[in-house]
Structure 1
Amino acid sequence: MTTRLLHVSDTHLGNRQYGSDTRREDFADAFEQAIEYAIDQDVDAVIHTGDLFDTRDPRLPDLNRCIDILQSLDAADIPFYGIVGNHERKMDDQYLDLIRKTGAAERLDTSPTLINDEVAIYGIDAVTRPAWHAEDFTLDSPPEDVFTILCMHQLLQPPVPEIQAEHPLEDVLDRLNLDLDALALGDYHESVGTVERGTTVWYAGSTERCAVDEDASRSVSLLEIENGELTRRQKELDTRDFETITINFTEDDSYGHAEDEIDRHVVEKKVVLVTVVGESNSVTSSDVRGIVMDRGAAVCCVDDERGGPEIDTSDGPSGDVQNKDRRIEEKLAEKDLSDIAAQIDERVRTEGVAPSGFDDEVEEMVMDAQAEAFDEAAEATPTEVTDE
């Protein structure tokens, strides 16, 4: 018998990318497309390796849309097995547990889930960096002569480039008590793979583009296991195209210059990202966005990097005029904040903070600080601890 699985990952349902409800729908449509492919291929199961949702508190419409999609899979008698990713991870019960109550999904864990009595699937939810070294990777023993797959949501090198990875793949393989046949991963949005110590390791990639530099086709992985051998094929998804445009303005350029530059590109039904550079003039970012949308773009985001006019400050106010950040820092210094509180404050006031990932980032900072404090306490002598 051949066991066929569809590996889906990083669907990020509810992602209102570029502040657009159209993009929110695109993410749901891509997930639905993947599930329809699973039904069309009559797979034995779908496995999802984390970040089903883009946030730990998805909107009710996004949750309902997810359940509707999964119930179509359930109606085809195809089970859906998942783990929890870092974007959606909560401190207590997970939304995947809620969906499980509808009968449309199951959550993988360290006990084997058997498919056709030939494949045993395990799952370990996303592990934060502070908890990584204390995490127990012990898996329950599977039946004999089955193909074993562990699902995780981590950035491991290889196959993730070292500069982007969180942990070495060797660390996982060394700490597991089983010799795995395969490791199905989530969190990295490109489809890449490797083989390490006899274990096939891969990322399915995300089902939609979560960033402009994710320019490869989005896909899911169709897995076929027969006689202990794994064959993996990528299925490309039909997702919305992106178009990037740079407009360089001089001081004298008019509205017509923007139109000419935009008309060099096909923008209809696309996500269009425009960067405006050069000199400031009468053409505004809103003007540029209006031109793009008038030509049928689905979404347009304009990044205006033009320098403002030079201002003669020689007649300005004299004295010790401080910027707002300096004044805030002086006030905070009076409060005698802890190191971690100061770091969080600095992160809050850093430009470019992504709201969707900010909660996770602060949580990791706090947990790092806790872990460091616990380590210091463990290293202290009993007398030192008592004195403190």
Structure 2
Amino acid sequence: MSTRLLHISDTHLGNRQYGSDIRRDDFADAFEKAIEYAVEQDVDAVIHTGDLFDSRDPSLPDLNRCIDILQRLETAGIPFYGIVGNHERKMDDQYLDLIEKTGAAERLTKHPTQATDEVVLYGIDAVTKPAWHAEDFQLKAPPEGTFTILCMHQLLDPPVPELFAEHPLDDVLERVNVDLDAVALGDYHETVGTVEAGTKVWYAGSTERCAKDEIEPRTVSLLEIDGGELTRRERELDTRDFITIGITFAEDDDHSYAENVIDRHHVEDKVVSVVLNGESTSVTSRDVRKAVINRGAAVCRVDDERGGPDIDLSEGPRGEIESVDRLIEEKLSEQNLSEISLEIEERIRTDSVARSGFDNEVEELLMEAQDEAFDGQAVTEVEGQE
């Protein structure tokens, strides 16, 4: 009897892309469509490989909607297994732990989770670049004769192009002590895959477009394991269309010229990105945005490059770099910092501790580090002095 799983990833719930509540709803709608497809297909389980949420502190409405959607799986008797991605990662307890308490999800770990009699799942949460070489990839041995799948949230080469990857895939396969049949990945938003030393490795891609250059349709991966063989099929999700319009101005071009260019495109209900080039004129970015929205676009972003780049702080970093935190982690990885220094740095950067309690938190971390370094002897001797 075969096992059927649905692999989804990078749902980024709560993402107000371009500062738009419409886009926040779009991300939730895409996740809901993926879950509905899992119910329609009557899969044995759903696996999610990280960045369920776009933020480490999702809003209560986003959290509630996520739980409501997942409860449809629970009603259908389909378990939801997940790991934590880099966008949502916190220092201690994760929001996935909170959802697990509702019974709507289960967090994968380095211990085997039996999806079916035939298939075992493992999970390793997103690992920061500074902590990568110290990470323990040892997994507890699976039951004999089972098909093993490891879920991770990392940019690995292959299948990610070397230019964008953080680590070589070989590094993972060599450090894992279990013979893996497959590695299901998240963090890369396109659907790509490879086979390395007999292990099938792939990304399901994101369920919504997180950037205008993510041109390909959004997908989820339907997996079928039968007799120790895995077959993967991509299911395209119906998401909102993106289009890009370029307007190049001459010195005397006015509002009517811009509107004529816009009218050559069907913008209704779409996410529209407009790039302004050429000469500076009386037509402003706001004028163009208003003209696009008046023609029925759901969302419009305008980049005015006539007088230099138009910086939109609401969007955040663009392209393949997904967060400021990742840039910081890359720089920290180049420094020879201790594990305790890195932990204190992340607590400061992520503001995971209230300011009023920060001194006590840091003192506790330092005491724990000292206790571990001296095997408890230094603390004991100090406490014993009169």
Structure 2-normalised TM-score?
A: 0.83
1:38 aligned partner: 38
Aligned 8 A contact 1:54 1:356 in 2: no
Aligned 8 A contact 1:270 1:298 in 2: yes
1:229 aligned partner: 229
Provide closer, same or farther for how the CA distance between residues 359 and 158 of structure 1 changes in structure 2, counting only shifts above 3 A.
closer
2:324 aligned partner: 358
2:239 aligned partner: 239
SS of 2:337's equivalent in the other structure is helix
Shift of 1:358: 2.5
Aligned mates of 1:368, 1:60 — CA distance in 2:
37
Larger radius of gyration: 1
The alignment of Structure 1 onto Structure 2 pairs a total of residues equal to 334
1:91 aligns to 2:91 (yes or no): yes
2:214 aligned partner: 214
Q: Which moved more, 1:277-286 or 1:157-166?
A: 277-286
Give the aligned residue type for 1:151.
C
Alignment match of 1:371 (pick from 323, 337, 362): 337
Provide closer, same or farther for how the CA distance between residues 353 and 49 of structure 1 changes in structure 2, counting only shifts above 3 A.
closer
Aligned mates of 2:213, 2:316 — CA distance in 1:
17
Aligned 8 A contact 2:130 2:332 in 1: no
Shift of 1:371: 2.8
Give the aligned residue type for 1:167.
H
> What's the C-alpha RMSD, in Å, of the aligned pairs?
2.1
Aligned mates of 1:186, 1:19 — CA distance in 2:
24
Aligned 8 A contact 1:158 1:194 in 2: yes
1:81-230 matches, cutoff 5 A? 81-230=81-230
The runs of 5 or more residues in structure 2 that have no matched partner are: 342-386
The runs of 5 or more residues in structure 1 that have no matched partner are: 309-348, 376-388
1:62-77 matches, cutoff 5 A? 62-77=62-77
1:284 aligned partner: 284
Shift of 1:249: 1.1
1:290-305 matches, cutoff 5 A? 290-305=290-305
Aligned mates of 1:353, 1:189 — CA distance in 2:
15
Aligned 8 A contact 2:128 2:329 in 1: no
1:325 aligned partner: none
- Offset from partner CA, 1:177-219 (integer Å, 9 cap, x none): 0110000000000000000001000000000001111100100
Shift of 1:353: 5.0
SS of 1:122's equivalent in the other structure is strand
- Offset from partner CA, 1:216-267 (integer Å, 9 cap, x none): 0100000000111101000000000011001111221111101110011110
Percent of paired sites with the same residue: 72
Shift of 1:360: 4.8
Provide closer, same or farther for how the CA distance between residues 374 and 299 of structure 1 changes in structure 2, counting only shifts above 3 A.
closer
Aligned mates of 2:339, 2:117 — CA distance in 1:
46
SS of 2:92's equivalent in the other structure is coil
Aligned mates of 2:302, 2:181 — CA distance in 1:
47
Provide closer, same or farther for how the CA distance between residues 373 and 36 of structure 1 changes in structure 2, counting only shifts above 3 A.
closer
Shift of 1:370: 5.8
1:313 aligned partner: none
1:57 aligned partner: 57
SS of 1:28's equivalent in the other structure is helix
SS of 1:371's equivalent in the other structure is coil
